[in-house]
Amino acid sequence: MVLPNYINGEWQPSNGTETLEIINPATLEILDRVPLSRREDVATAVQAAATAFKDWRKTPPLNRIQYLFKLKTLIEENLEELCRTITRECGKTLAESKGEWQRAIENIEVACGIPTLMQGYNLEDIARGIDEMMIRQPVGITAIIAPFNFPGMIPFWFLPYAIACGNTVIVKPSEKVPLTMQYIFELLHKTGLPKGVVNLINGAREAVDAILEHPQIRAVSFVGSSPIAKYVYGKAASHGKRVQCQGGAKNPIIILPDADRVLTTKIAADSAFGCAGQRCLAASLAVTVGEAKNWFVETIAETAETRIVGNGLEEGVQMGPVITAQSQERIAGLVEEAIAAGAKPLVDGRKAKISSYENGYFIRPTLLSEVDPVGTLAKTEVFGPVLGVIEMETIDEAIALVNRGQWGNMACLFTSSGAAARKFRYEAEAGNIGINIGVAAPMAFFPFSGWKESFFGDLHGQGKQAIEFFTQTKVVVERWFDDWTRQF
Ligand code: NAD
């Protein structure tokens, strides 16, 4: 079947005649086909969103959030099938899919606070008898363009806030994993949201360009790789839109000699190999300081070797496949290149053959030591289960390496020293910092704060910054003449 779009409260066939297969990366089963929607599909969705906006913005915030409460309940009631949908199209384990939904729900819960969060402020008597107030109004039609690696959670970094603030929305999921949003839009339909408030467009580049160029779309939220994030940022801005673009990453973790050995290794392995390394907050480079190298590398090698890899739908599996054959090849190529440049393959997962799934896009956890700190592997986002280790002698050297990188999504430190932790928090140039944490993912009530090439824009997703992004401020200065004020 070819997936339909959801426009104006109805499932509609796309005008795109070109379609792509949606493939389960573990089994290579073809799950469905996704259409590459055309410019006219986006135009129809914009028309629906524009019509819906007129009344939606007048719907009281308290009434708007009732749909979110319903959506949360529906997600919870359908949780098992929603987890299976993510795992089937994306490959991660069911436990990882469940974690993703928890994070999505958390964003719905925070957005349900809109009647308070969206309030402005005011001051009486800015001059005699004159009052001034700031009110927040929705920006209008907004669009969300999402990547493949969190098909459920990432649209929820934006969608609940956008609609709770009174905007209407067009979601364009990754063409590699469109089934999850298809399911969510079935649930959105069941909430009874007015027609046109939320719309779903399947597709790829043409649909994205149509969104970026459409004059009626006021705001764009993007998550994906850095080159595309930069492209979307530039193009959306040049068409007069407000835009927030979260990009790629290369996340370093620093291990000091005084870190807790058992917990540090476990946390680091979960960060590097969880979701098969396909997380924008995956640890990708481990920098051992001084004698930490003596225990870290040996213990994490054992953890890497024993991780159970397979079909994420099966119980006991700890890591699934990567998303495509191209990803598998690219990751293997980067490992090959690093070894040729002098890195030592302590655990080499490239020739993974998983029983019953021999053709799946699997790579087992891979651990490389003595990685060149200025080589390709140290500078490139691998987006696979590969951890490179670099040895250094001081924390200053390690922080300098963190700050030399082009990305700034996350940096973590493992230590038992408060002073070292403070120094790191103060000096490290990254927007999400972990201290004895391996995946420093901000909760929904904090902003997801990427820096440098990991983020293009000003206001980040989630929390108060989401409210800022999805509203425009209006300031009213007010004076009323009557006998009472005339006396002044
Ligand atoms: P991607 O950049 O290939 O795709 C993201 C979106 O952009 C998709 O919807 C896709 O259809 C669209 N797109 C792709 N090429 C395009 C083009 N040429 N023109 C217009 N649109 C285009 O990213 P991906 O492979 O789906 O996701 C993985 C990347 O996302 C990684 O780099 C990862 O670090 C990043 N990511 C970042 C965060 C974060 O919070 N910073 C979170 C998750 C993923």
Tell me the pLDDT tens digit for each residue of 320-334.
Answer: 999 999 999 999 999
- Which residue ranges have their beta carbon within 6 Å of ligand 1? 145-150, 172, 174-175, 204-205, 208, 223-225, 228, 246-249, 280, 381, 383, 409, 448, 450, 454
Ligand 1, atom 26, residue with closest C-alpha: 147
Residue 366's pLDDT is what?
98
Tell me the pLDDT tens digit for each residue of 3-16.
Answer: 999 999 999 999 99
Whether pLDDT at 151 is above 70: yes
Residue 482's pLDDT is what?
77
- Percent of the chain whose predicted confidence (pLDDT) is above 90: 98
Question: From the CA of 383, how far away is ligand 1's center (Å)?
Answer: 12
- For the chain, the domains span 5-247+454-476, 251-435
Whether pLDDT at 286 is above 80: yes
Strand partners, 11: 6
Ligand 1 atom closest to the CA of 175, numbered from 1: 11
Q: Which of 165, 275, 280, 412 is catalytic?
A: 280
Q: How much is the average pLDDT of 423-434?
A: 98
Whether pLDDT at 408 is above 60: yes
Whether pLDDT at 266 is above 70: yes
How are beta strands 130-138 and 121-127 bridged, if at all?
antiparallel
Residue 351's pLDDT is what?
86
The residue to which tokens 């749909």 are assigned:
67
384 HSE (CA, 13 A, CB side): 29
Q: What are phi and psi of 38, to 5 degrees?
A: -100, 170
Which CATH number is 251-435 given? 3.40.309.10
Question: From the CA of 348, how far away is ligand 1's center (Å)?
Answer: 27
Whether pLDDT at 484 is above 90: no
Q: Which residues, 6+ apart, have CB-to-CB distance to 306 below 8 Å?
A: none
Q: Which of 103, 202, 225, 231 to mutate to test the pocket of ligand 1 (most atoms within 8 A of CB)?
A: 225
Residue 308's pLDDT is what?
97
Ligand 1 atom closest to the CA of 147, numbered from 1: 26
Ligand 1 atom closest to the CA of 148, numbered from 1: 26
Whether pLDDT at 488 is above 60: no
Whether pLDDT at 483 is above 80: no
Tell me the pLDDT tens digit for each residue of 348-373.
Answer: 999 899 999 999 999 999 999 999 99
Q: Which two tokens stand for residue 322?
A: 């990567």
Q: Which of 280, 406, 449, 459 to mutate to test the pocket of ligand 1 (most atoms within 8 A of CB)?
A: 280
How are beta strands 410-414 and 251-255 bridged, if at all?
parallel
Ligand 1, atom 6, residue with closest C-alpha: 147
Distances (CA, A) of 193 to 12, 21, 67, 186, 402: 17, 30, 6, 11, 46
The pTM of the full predicted model, rounded to 2 decimals, is: 0.98
Ligand 1, atom 39, residue with closest C-alpha: 246
**Mean pLDDT, all residues of the chain:** 97
Edge-to-edge strand order for the sheet containing 10-12? Answer: 10-12, 5-7, 198-200, 168-172, 141-145, 217-223, 242-246, 455-456
Ligand 1 atom closest to the CA of 150, numbered from 1: 43
Per-residue 3-state assignment (H helix, E strand, C coil) for the chain: CECCEEECCEEECCCCCCEEEEECCCCCCEEEEEECCCHHHHHHHHHHHHHHHHHHCCCCHHHHHHHHHHHHHHHHHCHHHHHHHHHHHHCCCHHHHHHHHHHHHHHHHHHCCHHHHCCCEEEEEEECCEEEEEEEEECCEEEEECCCCCCCCHHHHCHHHHHHCCCEEEEECCCCCCHHHHHHHHHHHHCCCCCCCEEECCCCHHHHHHHHHCCCEEEEEEECCHHHHHHHHHHHHHCCCEEEEECCCCEEEEECCCCCHHHHHHHHHHHHHHHHHCCCCCEEEEEEECCHHHHHHHHHHHHHHHCCECCCCCCCCCECCCCCHHHHHHHHHHHHHHHHCCCEEEECCCCCCCCCCCCCCCCCCEEEECCCCCCHHHHCCCCCCEEEEEEECCHHHHHHHHHHCCEECEEEEECCCHHHHHHHHHHCCCCEEEECCCCCCCCCCCCCCCEECCEECCCCCCHHHHHHHCEEEEEEEEECCCHHHHCC
Tell me the pLDDT tens digit for each residue of 69-83.
Answer: 999 999 999 999 999
Single-letter code of the amino acid located at 431: G
Contact 488, 128 (CB under 8 A): yes
Q: Which two tokens stand for residue 224?
A: 């994906």
* Residue 154 CA from chain centroid, whole number: 4
Q: How far apart are CA 447 and CA 45, in angstroms?
A: 29
- Percent of the chain whose predicted confidence (pLDDT) is above 70: 99
280 among known catalytic residues: yes
The dihedral of CA 363, 367, 370, 372: what is its sign?
positive
Reported confidence tier of residue 56, pLDDT bands at 50, 70, 90: very high
Q: Decide if domain 5-247+454-476 falls under CATH 3.40.605.10.
A: yes
Whether pLDDT at 487 is above 90: no
* Residue 155 CA from chain centroid, whole number: 8
How are beta strands 30-35 and 344-347 bridged, if at all?
unpaired
- CB atoms inside a 10 Å sphere around CB 411: 31
Question: From the CA of 228, how far away is ligand 1's center (Å)?
Answer: 6
Question: From the CA of 361, how far away is ligand 1's center (Å)?
Answer: 19
